[in-house]
Amino acid sequence: GQNIDQPTEMTATEGAIVQINCTYQTSGFNGLFWYQQHAGEAPTFLSYNVLDGLEEKGRFSSFLSRSKGYSYLLLKELQMKDSASYLCAASDSNYQLIWGAGTKLIIKP
């Protein structure tokens, strides 16, 4: 079956770095997405990886290893506004997104 696993909740300190991991199993693979979702709002796109390696975009970076079925989202210089849920989603052979349950990130001062 198809499955996405990511931690339920993580806590980090303002200014620090946090890494949110995601493992996936899908029927076919057409890329891995990370979305940010603040409470009561729709998800917003953060990153897309389809090739192995690290994609850097400002304070946020995303890594993919296709052979391991593994990705992570790295957030640097954490700010209070980064407190949100981070959703990992894998695109399967039909380009349908398979969603993880999301990781709630709590930032403490």
Q: Does 60 bind other proteins (CB under 8 A)?
A: no
Q: Residue 41: CB partners within 8 Å, gap ≥ 6?
A: none
Longest dimension (CA), the chain: 43
Site stretch for other proteins (CB under 8 A), options 51-59, 65-73, 76-84, 92-100? 92-100
Residue 98's DSSP bridge partners are: 90
> In this chain, which of 43, 63, 69, 78 binds other proteins, going by CB under 8 A?
43
Binding site for other proteins (CB under 8 A): 30-31, 35, 40-45, 48, 50, 87, 91, 95-97, 99-102, 104
